[in-house]
């Protein structure tokens, strides 16, 4: 059967697409639309973009079996296809068809980059901070004729010199660490996110109109259920457009790893912290209405696009644009810069803390000494 010359295409505002309404209709951009343009070029058809009239976005299933959003438009035959970056899931198969997979969709989450800690937050130095000399104990056990010998004086003197140098080096290392702001790890795994949600220190938002909350709430994993039930209870669902460079304090958002790289860049220039874990990996496919004439033609075109590496090039180009934008903001580093008050604040903090503690100890010793003298007087 000959492929149609005109198709109605459904899309919605998401991380993979951007839709602008004009007087002449909708203008859409993003990786979804670039895939659509490739299909239109290969199959020689024209198209018109349509958006769902409800707030269902991807599509929510009602108890009566009807769907909202893009899925509902395909179910009712209002549009022919949708190239929305969507996973191939069983729940939608009764009302629409999927093409062959054209990419994978790894669902993960992202948070703001953790704030740097104060300069004086240093761990790992307290255990080895005292260089105790074993020589005094050894010399006490030595015979009397060896205690005042020349060898004893040379050995003891060399040890004192080493101890002085070691203390100086140790102090220098500590001060050098005080000029660097330690960066905490942040939330990078699903168990850490579940614990933060359980404590109420973090909120986890999923795209509006998705089935992610139901998937998490019905999972066999306790951490998944904790997160999913919290989403349903607090209605943590919103339109995630991934436009801002910051996510928000105490907030995590769900999304595809590829979308996060496109919108926020890749490390070390990324503006957000993307988790190491993922909720799962699905195949992404074009959504097609039931009864569409030419599913095989679309599958053939997708195979050619994938074999030619065209879709991967789309993702790489989009990610490179964002990466270049973030890289251009980074000022050239000459390798040497002056230490300001902010870098040295940790050293001054510990110095003042030491003075305060010493002053308090002096006052306590004076009071104790006076009380002891009064008790000894007849």
The secondary structure of residue 112, as a DSSP letter, is: E
Question: pLDDT of 130-169, one tens digit each?
Answer: 445 454 554 454 555 555 666 666 766 777 777 777 776 6
Cβ contact 94:156 at 8 Å: no
Q: What share of the chain is helix, strand, coil (3-state, %, to 5)?
A: 45, 15, 40
Query: Which of 93, 170, 94, 79 has its CA nearest to residue 127?
Result: 170
Residue (of 349, 352, 345) closest to 181 by Cα position: 345
Would you state the structure tokens that stand for residue 286, as one six-digit string? 């074009």
Distance between CA atoms of residues 161 and 28, nearest Å = 74
Which strand (E) or helix (H) includes residue 250?
Answer: none
Tell me the C-alpha distance between 96 and 80, whole Å. 10
Mean pLDDT of the chain, nearest integer: 80
What predicted TM-score, i.e. pTM, was given to this entire model? 0.68
- CA–CA dist 72, 67 (Å, integer): 4
Please compute the mean of the pLDDT values over residues 194-215 and round it to a whole number: 88
Instruction: Give 265-297 pLDDT, tens digit per residue.
Output: 887 778 888 999 999 999 999 999 999 989 999
Which residue has better confidence, 39 or 182? 39
Whole-angstrom distance, CA of residue 155 vs CA of residue 161: 10
Q: Which residues fall within 8 angstroms of residue 12, CB to CB, at 6 or more apart?
A: 19, 51, 52, 57, 58, 69, 70, 84, 209
Per cent of the chain over pLDDT 90 is 30
What's the confidence (pLDDT) of residue 62? 85
């Amino acid at each position: 059967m000959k492929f149609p010359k005109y198709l109605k295409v459904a899309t919605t505002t998401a991380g993979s697409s951007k839709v602008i309404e004009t007087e002449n209709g909708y203008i859409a951009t993003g990786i979804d639309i670039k895939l659509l343009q490739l299909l239109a070029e290969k199959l020689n058809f024209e198209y018109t973009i349509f958006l769902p009239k409800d707030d269902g976005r991807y599509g929510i299933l009602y108890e009566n079996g009807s769907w909202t959003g893009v899925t509902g438009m395909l179910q009712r035959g209002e549009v022919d296809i949708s190239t929305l970056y969507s996973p191939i899931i069983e729940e939608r198969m009764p009302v629409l068809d999927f093409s062959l997979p054209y990419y994978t969709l790894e669902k993960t989450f992202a948070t703001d980059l953790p704030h740097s800690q104060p300069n004086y937050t240093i761990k790992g130095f307290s255990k080895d901070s005292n260089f105790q000399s074993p020589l005094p104990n050894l010399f006490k056990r030595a015979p009397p004729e060896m205690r005042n010998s020349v060898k004893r004086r040379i050995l003891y003197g060399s040890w004192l010199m080493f101890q002085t140098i070691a203390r100086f080096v140790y102090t220098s290392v500590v001060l050098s660490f005080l000029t660097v702001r330690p960066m905490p790890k942040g939330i990078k795994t699903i168990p850490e996110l579940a614990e933060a949600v359980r404590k109420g220190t973090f909120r986890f938002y999923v795209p509006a109109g998705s089935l992610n909350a139901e998937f998490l709430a019905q999972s066999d994993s306790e951490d998944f259920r904790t997160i999913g039930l919290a989403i349903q209870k607090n209605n943590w669902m919103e339109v995630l457009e991934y436009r801002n460079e910051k996510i928000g304090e105490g907030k995590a958002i769900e999304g595809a790893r590829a979308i996060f790289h496109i919108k926020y860049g890749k490390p070390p220039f990324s503006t957000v912290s993307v988790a190491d874990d993922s909720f799962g990996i699905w195949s992404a496919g074009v959504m097609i209405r039931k009864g569409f004439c030419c599913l095989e033609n679309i599958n053939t075109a997708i195979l050619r696009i994938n074999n030619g590496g065209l879709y991967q090039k789309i993702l790489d180009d989009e990610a490179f644009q964002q990466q270049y934008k973030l890289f251009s903001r980074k000022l050239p580093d000459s390798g040497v810069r002056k230490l300001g008050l902010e870098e040295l604040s940790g050293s001054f903090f510990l110095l003042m803390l030491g003075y305060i503690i010493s002053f308090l100890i002096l006052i306590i010793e004076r009071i104790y000494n006076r009380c002891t003298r009064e008790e000894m007087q007849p």
